[in-house]
């Protein structure tokens, strides 16, 4: 009888878990994966993919407005939330099937049930115990709900993608990327949105100029953003809800969306009972190779609360497979990871903020530009694009690139390669821009501005 039933047992069928399982199986490992919900995890089902689809939908209102400036006569238009959600659900179902086929084609055994860890090498699924050489925890994260009286009357960011109807009025609670994106989607589709955040600016952790510009642009669009404020209680008010703020102000609304972040999804997995160290927030504590305090148990993705992005979970999965099944001990590289916020307007960023650069490198050179994009010279809306470069004064190396404006994520992805290669400001300056584009501004900024950090 073999000592182990499988070489790798993965708990969680999100992007990281599926990638690790598929690639390990392609190297000849015996792999089983347990997922109690739908394959694809947060990203596919209630995160990146549906969010981006809804963001596209929300942009059409502005596109219709811009079209008139370019000679188009646009007739009356209306929006059908139900049709959008049906179309979104069809695409998600298709992706669920793609993930299943990928696993099955590579010989991964899929168990559609909840799995718990009962020993360093043992996983319980239903009424069966499976022995695994390695256990991988890739269970992601779950939404956080604030604890004010009446909080249960609200919904979380998972529920947002299954609203039965578009609310006429909505209160969004939070100031991170989930709150900002959901607020922008609802506003773009026609809801009256009030965004309530207890901090002085949105998007904590991002460059302060980005945070300031985004706030200005959101308010230009008509979003009611209330900073340094919080909800004190939520009550029913007839068919609607009433959110009472700490300041005493009251906001009547059809829905309160709690978008205050997520926490690692480790509750009830049995990890602490087998000696796996968990952080205060529930995250699995791992070393540089994604190994927990129990050598046979590993964790990747949001459940470790390192860098909570889908491509990072996939990157960590590939590094883990190289370590466990290719005899190539590999540490995931978390430096210089680009990210985007699909707000309206969107944000793209890679590298250090100005404050981080000053703290770690001392003297820095800062370059900024803010301009009206060419499209709006005829489109007519009051919209600006912002770009910023942070440069190490001693070495001339570009440390950070930041943008607020159309296509920010698409543009910054390319710049991330340059930063990964250690590009200098001189090399940026020597690069010929593509004209006329907004992206060319990143290689034409010449005037330094005084650092503010």
The SS3 assignment for 142 reads strand
* Spatial CA neighbour of 364 closest among 375, 374, 352: 352
d(CA 189, CA 182): 11
Q: DSSP code of 432?
A: P
**Where in the sequence numbering do the catalytic residues fall?**
435
C-alpha–C-alpha distance, residues 402 and 445, integer Å = 13
Residue for token digits 């497979």? 321
Q: Mapping DSSP to helix (H, G, I), strand (E, B) and coil, where does residue 49 land?
A: helix
Q: What are residue 137's DSSP bridge partners?
A: 11, 299
d(CA 208, CA 212): 6
> C-alpha angle 188/189/195, rounded to 5°?
55
Tokens of 418: 């340059």
Q: How wide is the angle at C-alpha 309 spanned by C-alphas 134 and 362, nearest 5°? A: 115
Q: In what order do the strands lie in the sheet with 169-173?
A: 155-156, 255-258, 169-173, 192-196, 224-226
Q: What is the DSSP letter of 161?
A: G
Pairing of strands 364-371, 448-449: antiparallel
User: Please, are residues 217 and 384 in contact by the beta-carbon 8 Å criterion?
Assistant: yes
Q: Find all residues with CB under 8 Å of 308, minimum gap 6, and list them.
A: 141, 262, 301, 302
């Amino acid at each position: 009888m073999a000592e182990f039933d499988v070489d790798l047992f993965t708990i969680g069928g999100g992007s990281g878990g599926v990638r690790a399982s598929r690639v390990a199986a392609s190297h000849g490992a015996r792999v089983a994966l347990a997922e109690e919900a739908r394959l694809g995890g947060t990203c596919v089902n209630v995160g990146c993919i549906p969010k981006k689809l809804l963001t596209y939908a929300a942009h059409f209102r502005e596109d219709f407005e811009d079209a008139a400036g370019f000679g188009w006569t646009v007739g009356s238009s209306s929006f059908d939330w139900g049709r959008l959600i049906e179309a979104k659900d069809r695409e998600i179902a298709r992706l669920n099937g793609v993930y299943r086929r990928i696993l099955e084609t590579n010989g991964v055994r899929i168990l559609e049930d909840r799995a718990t860890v009962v020993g360093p090498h043992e996983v319980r699924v239903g009424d069966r115990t499976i022995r695994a050489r390695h256990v991988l925890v890739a269970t992601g994260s779950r939404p956080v709900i604030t604890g004010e009286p009446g909080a249960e009357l609200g919904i979380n960011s998972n529920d947002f993608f299954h609203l039965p109807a578009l609310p006429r009025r909505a209160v969004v609670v939070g100031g991170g990327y989930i709150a900002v994106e959901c607020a922008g989607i609802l506003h773009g589709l026609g809801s009256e949105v009030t965004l309530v955040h207890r901090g002085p600016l949105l998007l904590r952790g991002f460059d302060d100029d980005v945070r300031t510009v985004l706030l200005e642009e959101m308010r230009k669009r008509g979003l009611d953003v209330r900073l340094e404020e919080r909800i004190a209680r939520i009550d029913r008010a007839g068919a609607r809800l009433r959110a009472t703020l700490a300041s005493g102000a009251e906001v009547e609304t059809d829905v309160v969306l709690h978008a205050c972040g997520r926490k690692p999804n480790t509750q009830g997995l049995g990890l602490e009972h087998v000696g796996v160290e968990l952080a205060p927030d529930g995250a699995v504590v791992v070393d540089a190779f994604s190994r927990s305090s129990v050598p046979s148990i590993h964790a990747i993705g949001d459940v470790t609360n390192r860098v909570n992005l889908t491509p990072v979970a996939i990157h960590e999965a590939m590094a883990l497979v190289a370590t466990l099944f290719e005899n190539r001990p590999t540490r995931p590289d978390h430096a210089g990871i680009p990210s985007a916020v699909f707000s309206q307007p969107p944000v793209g960023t890679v590298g250090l903020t100005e404050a981080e650069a000053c703290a770690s490198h001392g003297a820095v050179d800062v370059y900024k530009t803010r301009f009206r994009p060419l499209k709006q010279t005829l489109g007519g809306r009051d919209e600006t694009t912002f770009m910023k470069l942070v440069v190490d004064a001693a070495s001339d190396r570009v440390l950070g690139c930041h943008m607020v404006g159309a296509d920010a994520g698409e543009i910054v992805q390319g710049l991330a390669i340059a930063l990964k290669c250690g590009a200098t400001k001189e090399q940026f300056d020597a690069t010929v821009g593509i004209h006329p584009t907004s992206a060319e501004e990143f290689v034409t900024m010449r005037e330094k501005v005084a650092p503010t950090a």
